[in-house]
Structure 1
Amino acid sequence: MSRDIEQFIKRFLKEVEDDNAAIFAGAGLSAPAGYVNWKELLRPLVDDLGLDIDREQDLVSLAQYHRNENGRHRINQQLIDELSQNKNPTENHRILAKLPISTYWTTNYDRLIEDALKENSKIPDTKYTNNHLATTKSRRDAVVYKMHGDIEHPDQAVLTKDDYEKYTLKFAPFVNALSGDLVSKTFLFLGFSFTDPNLDYILSRIRIYFREHQRQHFCIFKRCHRDEFDSDAEFEHANTKQQLVISDLGRFNIKVLLVEEYSDITSILSQIERVFSRKTIFISGSASEFGNWTQQETEIALSALSGALIDGGFKIATGVGLGIGNAVISGAISSVYRNHRGHIEDNLIMRPFPQFIEDKNERDLTWERYRRDLIGKCGISLFFMGNKIVSGDTTNADGVRKEFEIAKEIGLALVPIGGSEFMARELWIEINDQFDAFFPSASTELKEAFSNLGSHFATPSECISRVLEFLNLISKE
């Protein structure tokens, strides 16, 4: 991974955390889902005109020519034929939907962004008419601005030269809204070629108004490769043009990141999502019996550990397990207040399990969904103790095991504190016996730190430094 991309990930991650990040999606983001690009969308229409679309560059004018000769209906039907088919969001859509990004702009007519957000249990507020801008969907998680329209209304889609020429007047509220977001948010442009005249107009206005004070944005291009062209001349032409486009985008303070393959974009987005999710730690555990430790010293240690995690910039999620939940919550809240870290809900997710569900099957199903929802918000899971009393005997808690399996399935980093015994010991042994499978390419230091988590603790307080050491190392992996 290049230095530019590493710096971008750090910068954009910070913007995501501060709710200052926005996405601008072009046709290239939807293409892997099976939707056609602009050229292929217009190909049968251009054939009607007796022209070869592969020899043309001005696609907007071609759409206008067809409108002039045949009216709008044929264009509307082509949009419906190509884009009304149900397609599934791509991995890139799904990764973006997991992140707390609340602003999306797109020139696409499809609904892949909205579908990905819904898959992630988020509520999208879609805007594609001026009137939409004046209303707000209740409890929305993200706003999706579709500046060129939606497939459900193909007659209103911006496609021809007439549509583009009237845009700044007919859709002035969208122009103003996008201008405001480009000034106040950091955009990542994905699958966008920067040939859209509407965006060019808006970027130009911002450049004139703000001059050297423009906010920096980012976009990702795939580098031109010789094997993608029929001749050296074609490759040289494409490569030269790409470099000129990159240089020109610098006028708008848009930094271009070049990747070798389109799959690299998924890797970059995955890295951003992975680092972000690992800022939230799910603490799993329960304790009816405290083994060689007293309940008081265990609670003191857990409170100190959760406080240290908050101090370290982590967010904690907990199901408020019996015997440990209150200590975890107390330590986290104390840290928030002590260090003036903002709102409690920005640092702590508290989800006590619903207890009074009489039907066992319904309760089990509810708890399963409840666990998945809570664990799915995290990137790391700590397991502490994990026991309960059954018929007067102490046994390992099966609920902690279930949470381990869910976290494993979702792909969280699993960190059982084996030295706390009970189910955590069982899970630590399981991972330690096949460490490389759980932590591939782990450093020697990380493996040693994991081993230390399974060592005997004379007091529960000893686990704090060992857990923090492991988390510090895993953040570098």
Structure 2
Amino acid sequence: MTQDEFTDVFSHSLYNNKGVYFIGSGISVPSGLPDWKGLIEKFVKEIGIDKVEDTDDLPSLAQYYVNKKSKKDLYGAINDDFSNKKPNHYHDIFKITNIKTIWTTNYDDLLEKTFRNNYELKISDKEVFTFVEAKDKIEIIKIHGSIKRNIKDIVITQSDYEDFFIRKPTIVQRLKVDLLQNSFVFMGYNYGDPNIQNILTEVRRLKSDKNKIKHYILLKDKSDQKFKLWCNNLERYNIFPVLYKDHDDFSTLLKKIALKSRGNSVFITGSHTHEKIDDLKLLIKYIVKGNLILIDGQSQGIMRTVVSKFTTRCIKKKIDYQNRIKYFPNPYAANSKFANDSSLLPQLKNFRKPLMKASQVVVAFDGGMGTCAEIKVAQEMGCVVIPFFKNKKSKTWKLIDKIDSLDSAYDMKLKAGKIEMLDLINILNKQF
């Protein structure tokens, strides 16, 4: 499967809350943590094993260590590696992805640090079927335990794997349910990783002709024949490999998923005291006809004009617009000082983060302080920002060189003050 095909299909699953990430140790490596092989290799040196091969049975090696020492010693050896690590660029991308549930075999606390207080952590059988009350919170399920929790929850030795289905039946059942109902993407695993092998076995057990849900695994491309044969064999499990060339290619792929996971959504920002914008009807017509989702931040000015004209056109065309608009609270209704009090900008930006996380594209018209703040939040959240500035005296004009170029011809017309609505629509058409 090509990256583009995968991105389109899986981002659609994420948008409909039917997509799940399953994360392995490779995601934590850029933070200075070892992968599975590196972790095992470090502590088994104490029992006389100097080198660990890719083909070695890693849980068995961990078991040999515990046999000679203890599980407590093993925990101490792991804990030394996992202290004071910070999230990396992969975690930054997860933070701006429209995702509700993340499964992981990792012991580290990097996901918790990434989402700060905006997550619910589930490790034990008792926790795993509890309901996530806040809809904007991320559910993190640590199937093999956490370094910050009870050592008894850590799954690393051969006996841990053997007893897993007995010790954690509820987690196993939850995994089965999720695999049957959602599309999974596995990442951060090598093709010889025992963690992924165990999950593949479970996926294989659940596979049936009636269950058409596809799962995917992101893998660095290798030229050797064993790797190719292994990838081909994955289709028996209904898991389809998506290959990338290097770490940059992998990051680019994750960013595309993050952006497209928001659906074909557009948010329009501009001054509360805007002047009449020529040909606004063309933009509304394109949004309606293009089957785009309109993000309504419920602020005054250009947004209210767009929403009013959008709903009117939908009614005339007999289109159910209720499923075409997503509403987010109006911060200015909560505090009218947001419009012109610069000391409140940090609060305004935090208020707008959920909105921007739901927007793939932000169209920015001329505006003041509030519009500038929204543009900056949109950039932080990875949105595609398309400026449509005409007033060189507006505050937004100062941001024109800080917005990534989408099209050089568009930029030239914009800076020359000759931009037209059809130019904006052409750019939107390329994005969607």
> Shared fold (TM-score greater than 0.5)?
yes
* CA distance in 1 between partners of 2:91 and 2:14 (Å): 16
Give the residue type in structure 2 aligned to 1:347: K
CA apart distance, 1:252: 0.2
Residue number in structure 1 paired with 2:266: 281
The reply on whether 1:351 has 2:330 as its aligned counterpart is yes
The reply on whether 1:381 has 2:389 as its aligned counterpart is no
Q: What's the CA shift string for 1:215-242, capped at 9, x where partnerless?
A: 22111211236xxxxxxxxxxxxx2321
Give the residue type in structure 2 aligned to 1:115: K
Counterparts of 1:443-454 in structure 2 under 5 Å? 454=418
Q: Percent same amino acid at aligned positions?
A: 23
* CA distance in 1 between partners of 2:3 and 2:220 (Å): 13
* CA distance in 2 between partners of 1:278 and 1:451 (Å): 30
* CA distance in 2 between partners of 1:377 and 1:257 (Å): 25
Give the residue type in structure 1 aligned to 2:154: A
Give the residue type in structure 1 aligned to 2:57: D
The reply on whether 1:160 has 2:160 as its aligned counterpart is no
Counterparts of 1:118-129 in structure 2 under 5 Å? 118=116, 123-129=118-124
The answer on whether the counterparts of 2:96 and 2:381 sit within 8 Å (CA) in structure 1 is: no
The answer on whether the counterparts of 2:183 and 2:213 sit within 8 Å (CA) in structure 1 is: yes
Match of 2:104 among 92, 103, 106: 106
Match of 2:425 among 436, 444, 468: 468
- What is the SS of the residue equivalent to 2:124? coil
How has the CA–CA distance of structure 1 residues 188 and 269 changed in structure 2, closer, same or farther, with 3 Å as cutoff?
same
* CA distance in 2 between partners of 1:198 and 1:171 (Å): 15
Give the residue type in structure 1 aligned to 2:216: F
Residue number in structure 2 paired with 1:75: 74
The answer on whether the counterparts of 1:183 and 1:206 sit within 8 Å (CA) in structure 2 is: yes
Task: Kindly indicate whether structure 1 or structure 2 has the higher relative contact order, using CA contacts under 8 Å at least 6 residues apart.
Answer: 2
- What is the SS of the residue equivalent to 2:2? helix
Q: TM-score with structure 1 length normalisation? A: 0.76
The answer on whether the counterparts of 2:79 and 2:147 sit within 8 Å (CA) in structure 1 is: yes
- What is the SS of the residue equivalent to 1:74? helix
How has the CA–CA distance of structure 1 residues 310 and 428 changed in structure 2, closer, same or farther, with 3 Å as cutoff?
farther
- What is the SS of the residue equivalent to 1:113? helix
* CA distance in 2 between partners of 1:406 and 1:97 (Å): 13
Residue number in structure 2 paired with 1:40: 38
Q: What's the CA shift string for 1:441-461, capped at 9, x where partnerless?
A: x375x56886898457xxxxx
The answer on whether the counterparts of 2:25 and 2:36 sit within 8 Å (CA) in structure 1 is: yes
* CA distance in 2 between partners of 1:360 and 1:427 (Å): 16
CA apart distance, 1:316: 3.3
Task: Give the root-mean-square deviation of aligned CA atoms.
Answer: 3.6
Residue number in structure 2 paired with 1:218: 216
* CA distance in 2 between partners of 1:418 and 1:156 (Å): 56
Residue number in structure 1 paired with 2:95: 97
Counterparts of 1:200-279 in structure 2 under 5 Å? 200-207=200-207, 210-211=208-209, 213-224=211-222, 239-276=224-261, 279=264
Residue number in structure 2 paired with 1:133: 128
Q: What's the CA shift string for 1:192-236, capped at 9, x where partnerless?
A: 2352353243123113xx1474522111211236xxxxxxxxxxx
Unpaired runs of at least 5, structure 2 = none
* CA distance in 2 between partners of 1:175 and 1:246 (Å): 25
Q: What's the CA shift string for 1:401-425, capped at 9, x where partnerless?
A: 4544555666644434346x5767x
The answer on whether the counterparts of 1:310 and 1:332 sit within 8 Å (CA) in structure 2 is: yes
* CA distance in 2 between partners of 1:100 and 1:377 (Å): 7
When structure 1 is superposed on structure 2, of 246-255 and 216-225 the one drifting more is: 216-225
CA apart distance, 1:320: 4.4
When structure 1 is superposed on structure 2, of 186-195 and 376-385 the one drifting more is: 376-385
* CA distance in 2 between partners of 1:185 and 1:168 (Å): 21
Give the residue type in structure 2 aligned to 1:68: N
Unpaired runs of at least 5, structure 1 = 226-238, 387-396, 457-462
CA apart distance, 1:335: 6.2
* CA distance in 2 between partners of 1:278 and 1:206 (Å): 29
How has the CA–CA distance of structure 1 residues 60 and 336 changed in structure 2, closer, same or farther, with 3 Å as cutoff?
farther
The answer on whether the counterparts of 2:24 and 2:189 sit within 8 Å (CA) in structure 1 is: yes
CA apart distance, 1:162: 1.2
The answer on whether the counterparts of 2:220 and 2:243 sit within 8 Å (CA) in structure 1 is: yes
Q: TM-score with structure 2 length normalisation? A: 0.83
Residue number in structure 2 paired with 1:393: none
- What is the SS of the residue equivalent to 2:241? strand
Counterparts of 1:296-375 in structure 2 under 5 Å? 305-306=283-284, 308-334=286-312, 338-343=318-323, 347-353=326-332, 354-356=334-336, 362-370=343-351, 374-375=355-356
Structure number, greater radius of gyration: 1
Residue number in structure 2 paired with 1:392: none
How has the CA–CA distance of structure 1 residues 375 and 452 changed in structure 2, closer, same or farther, with 3 Å as cutoff?
farther
